[in-house]
Structure 1
């Protein structure tokens, strides 16, 4: 495709060639699991990985957590709750481990990755409640984890970005934990756009319009998507009031169909007085930061720098 950055063409060849669908969901999930299972963990990056669990809310099952922490540190450090992508229907807390380990190694923080229940087996509010359970656990166990409870951020990728944005709204409204920062990586934010007309440019690589529609239908139920009764804790773009949310970073890709809702959300955050940084990468598609292209590395450095600022870290720690 001539629209794609030439550096991203090799990665594009490895991206999905068909949308997510009910008939292929088991296969799609296994493909995602196999991708991360093939990752070989380094033994010399100064990062320790452990598995923990948090009590589920209101009788829900315990939530599996993967914790990444620096092997050496002095005093309490900031923390990040990481919420993986996968269209609400796939992925695990192991997704994103390579970059999560890099964040820990370079910023010296603790990361907790949450294994929320997947749709369609668990529909809203199950997934976001699992994320909230993880956040409460982090705050409650701050001393044992060696983290500063006043410097907890949330980051989500794609569908995880929807859950992260919803979690920020939920945390603001419930008043139990104050988030210091939110980082939203090409997030799914608006179920109403699942039924938007194609524009001829976006949604043709990696994240297809059909995948987006399937993800939202799996989370909400087909009949609810785009309707009047979807709450903001499910579809954050529906929130009428964005004031009082934590400082925000949004990273978007210009060839991703989600770019429009990403830009719109950033604009509304700015209008609500929320310190907001938006970066839209031209000629890039959903998931373009996988790999080591120059544009991917630029994006990763931006994410690291934004997290560092948001968590009040010494700029000198960032690369």
Structure 2
């Protein structure tokens, strides 16, 4: 991918952005070790912040706007957020600044969760953790000031793929349903990783070799097999009817552009309200890497406006 295809606002930042070294266990260990050492703020302007431990030992980071305690308890909308990292790296704390902004700007409670990473914990471990967190949020909704009928599920990259799969699993379980799915450059389809011709394309930040390593670690087998278990890859599902409204955002020069567009079309064909926000010349996760550019801030503002409308805030 030539640098000339990058949006002019992003060229200086992304010209030399490397892919993370996730194709080896040593590389993954280094990245995850560094992430553990990164100090994150313990306070955020305009929101209260605390970390709670769920019953399964899984930490959850909770961002609450002012007024989410009595007498307003139980009246706030909420977002369950799932971090990215190709299924093999990442921590919930990497989304702290973004999630604090969302909680403050929309006046909602945000619960940002950890999950077990592959290959040490392959599918369905990560999805099981997300599902456990969803049920824990429902059970404690009133205590954390949340209206269980107004909860969205979202995430970025691998977190977006997990969010989409989680929505499917919750739909099949029945009961209380999320009102929206909020998917930033989601990692939806393992079959992309099986397309070897994409290996030669220089997709910035996340290329197809990294993608194959992530999917192989998560699935415990080479990606692109004829069949997968339900929920292993959200794009494999053939019946999408009845799922909640979706927002899918991504750049048009990133690896997941094709699978994102295809999934959005499939949702629409199934009668699901789906907004697709495509940013010209933007690579993977540009809204994080180039968070303060006007391109990224405008994109995030559109995403939040959509979520605000869906949550009724």
Q: TM-score of the superposition, structure 2-length normalised?
A: 0.92
> Following superposition of structure 1 onto structure 2, how do residues 132-151 of structure 1 map, counting pairs within 5 Å?
132-151=131-150
> Following superposition of structure 1 onto structure 2, how do residues 1-319 of structure 1 map, counting pairs within 5 Å?
1-13=3-15, 15-17=17-19, 19-22=21-24, 23-34=26-37, 37-40=38-41, 42-43=43-44, 45-56=45-56, 62-73=57-68, 74-75=72-73, 76-198=75-197, 203-223=202-222, 225-290=223-288, 291-313=291-313
In the alignment of these two chains, the number of paired residues is 304
Deviates more, 1:237-246 or 1:21-30: 21-30
Partner deviation per Cα, 1:72-104 (whole Å, 9 max, x = no partner): 343510010000000101111212111100011
Deviates more, 1:254-263 or 1:227-236: 227-236
| CA spacing shift, 1:190–1:200, aligned 2, 3 Å | closer
| CA spacing shift, 1:18–1:304, aligned 2, 3 Å | closer
Q: Secondary structure at the match of 1:167?
A: helix
CA contact (8 A) 2:252 2:278 kept: yes
Distance apart, 1:240 and its partner CA: 0.9
Distance apart, 1:193 and its partner CA: 1.1
| CA spacing shift, 1:219–1:299, aligned 2, 3 Å | same
| CA spacing shift, 1:114–1:18, aligned 2, 3 Å | closer
CA contact (8 A) 2:188 2:234 kept: yes
| CA spacing shift, 1:152–1:2, aligned 2, 3 Å | same
Q: Secondary structure at the match of 1:143?
A: coil
Q: Secondary structure at the match of 2:52?
A: strand
Query: Aligned partners of 2:217 and 2:111: how far apart in 1?
Result: 25
CA contact (8 A) 2:19 2:207 kept: no
Q: Secondary structure at the match of 2:261?
A: helix
RMSD: 1.8
Query: Aligned partners of 1:89 and 1:165: how far apart in 2?
Result: 18
Deviates more, 1:1-10 or 1:253-262: 1-10
Q: TM-score of the superposition, structure 1-length normalised?
A: 0.90
Q: Secondary structure at the match of 1:250?
A: strand
| CA spacing shift, 1:238–1:286, aligned 2, 3 Å | same
| CA spacing shift, 1:308–1:202, aligned 2, 3 Å | farther
| CA spacing shift, 1:261–1:96, aligned 2, 3 Å | same
**Unmatched 5+ stretches in structure 2:** none
Distance apart, 1:14 and its partner CA: 6.4
Query: Aligned partners of 1:178 and 1:154: how far apart in 2?
Result: 10
